[in-house]
Amino acid sequence: MCTEIGKIQRQIHDESMEESDTPLKKKLDEFGNRLTSAIGIVCLVVWAINYKYFLSWDVEDGWPSYFRYSFEKCTYYFKIAVLLLLLLAYLLVQGKWHKRTQIVRKLPSMETLGSTTMICSDKTGTSTTNQMSVSEFFTLGGKTTACRVFGVEGTTYDPKDGLIMDWNCYNMDATLILILKYVQSAMMLGSSVMVVTRVFKATGLPTEAALKGAVESLLECSTHVQLADRSTAPIDESCRQLLLSRLLEMSLKGLRCLGLAYKDDLGFVGVVGLRDPPREEVHKAVNDCRRAGIKIMVITGDNKSTAEAVCREFSCFLMETDEVVAMTGDGVNDAPALKLVVIGIAMGNTGTKVAKEAYDMVDNFSTIVSAVAEGRAIYNNMKAFIRYMISSNVGEVISIVLTAVLGIPECLILVQLLWVNLVTDGPPATALGFNPVDVDIMQKPPRKSNDALINSWVFFRYMVIGSYVGIATVGIFIVWYT
């Protein structure tokens, strides 16, 4: 656990032990508690109304029978139906997503993505292809007051294709030859090169120590810089500022800059600019997210100025401001953030195993938009289903209470209630849970995290509808009975 990988594993484990409920689960629990309280009151009312039959021999079992009667009729179906339909909706959407190469490990994460207000995306490998190619590099000239900038002719060079081994050292100055030797050594790993603590020993070449990394860090450690004729000069403040200004120019072009240094005391050689092209589908996905009211944050550590503006701990800050945060990433260092946020999305093709173990979904950035739409549809269908079930079940409860108050026989026995719930109410409610995605669903802003699943006005409306159904049912029964 003392290694960096061990620390990441510990963070993932700690977050796994402290997983919080999804927004939908919190709302369902809150609604269920309110519903349970209301049902409990109704049960007590029905039970109290029938107190005169508790010790009557006219009714078998007396008070236990009426208590069971009131409890079973009021509580046995509603919550089970909600959970069952929610599971069916999750499974249906999961099948759709699987066809689009979206893999869901935790079913509630599908709905959670629909309530996402902000997506924090790792840059390298998530917003970009992570297929870096050399686009530009620069070294110092004959003096420390001038830089030489070299561009790659034609298309950018992909270091994986091996063509760099065909570079010709003729007509090159000493600095370019040194850069070539370093790259050649790095490309020849496993053949004639041995690597021990960044020391490359190649056939026919002297043993030299080479180092690459962030330019700012290398400049802090380097004592001198190599010039075009392979002579060296100490790095003074003017030279440092010249190199940093060229670094800024390359960074503004969207290049990932790596500094090169060698030998004892680190002699600075030059800077290579790598272009990591963005994914073609990301631009449209970002525009779709903006139209849907979802903010996009790109989190990267490639450049110091960028890292000062946004950092990987920003996800925690957003959650503290009641944002529903989704984090996308592909690397080992993204795993703790994927585990910490409300929903983590690991990138399917380029994601590391550690990132995928911490995820809620495996996806690519472009299809996140369609997943958000499906998540919003799940929530809307759930509200429609609950509203329908409220009006139906309230009607049943009202009929039970009225028959108890009026002292008339049961108008609906348990078998009839079961038939109504399973045959009459079940199929329509299930169909409401499978409604397709609305055409304009991505034109609306995401719902707030504190929005109620069923607000007071909606609950009152459906209570009125349910009361009308219950009163009509009892009235028709009285007419038939008399």
pLDDT at site 467: 85
Helix axis angle for 456-481 and 368-406, nearest 10°, is: 40
**Alpha-carbon torsion 361, 364, 365, 367, what sign?**
negative
Residues in the chain with pLDDT < 70?
1-24, 39, 50-111, 122-127, 130, 142-145, 150-210, 264-265, 298-367, 449
* Integer Rg of the chain from CA: 34
Distance from the Cα of residue 320 to its chain's centroid: 17
Q: At what angle do helices 23-49 and 78-99 cross, to 10 degrees?
A: 160
Residue 214 CB contacts under 8 Å (≥ 6 apart), including other chains? 257, 258, 259, 304
Matching CATH number, 133-275, of 3.40.50.970, 3.40.1110.10, 3.10.20.30, 3.40.50.300: 3.40.1110.10
> What does residue 164 show for φ and ψ, rounded to 5 degrees?
-65, -20
Report pLDDT for 307: 42
Q: Label residue 451 left, alpha or beta by phi (over 0 means left) and psi (-120 to 50 means alpha).
A: beta
Predicted local distance difference test score (pLDDT) of residue 104: 63
Q: What is the pLDDT of residues 221-277, one digit of tens each?
A: 788 888 877 778 888 888 888 888 888 888 777 777 888 887 766 788 888 887 777
Number of neighbouring beta carbons within 10 Å of residue 282: 19
How many whole angstroms separate alpha carbon 262 and alpha carbon 211?
Answer: 6
CATH of domain 4-115+373-481: 1.20.1110.10
Q: Active-site positions?
A: 122
In the chain, domain spans: 4-115+373-481, 133-275
**pLDDT tens, position by position, 273-299:** 877 777 777 777 777 877 888 877 766
Q: How far apart are CA 39 and CA 312, in angstroms?
A: 46
Of 308, 142, 157, nearest to 233 by C-alpha is 142
Q: In what order do the strands lie in the sheet with 325-329?
A: 103-104, 361-363, 343-347, 325-329, 118-122, 295-299
pLDDT of residue 317: 42
Total residues belonging to the chain: 482
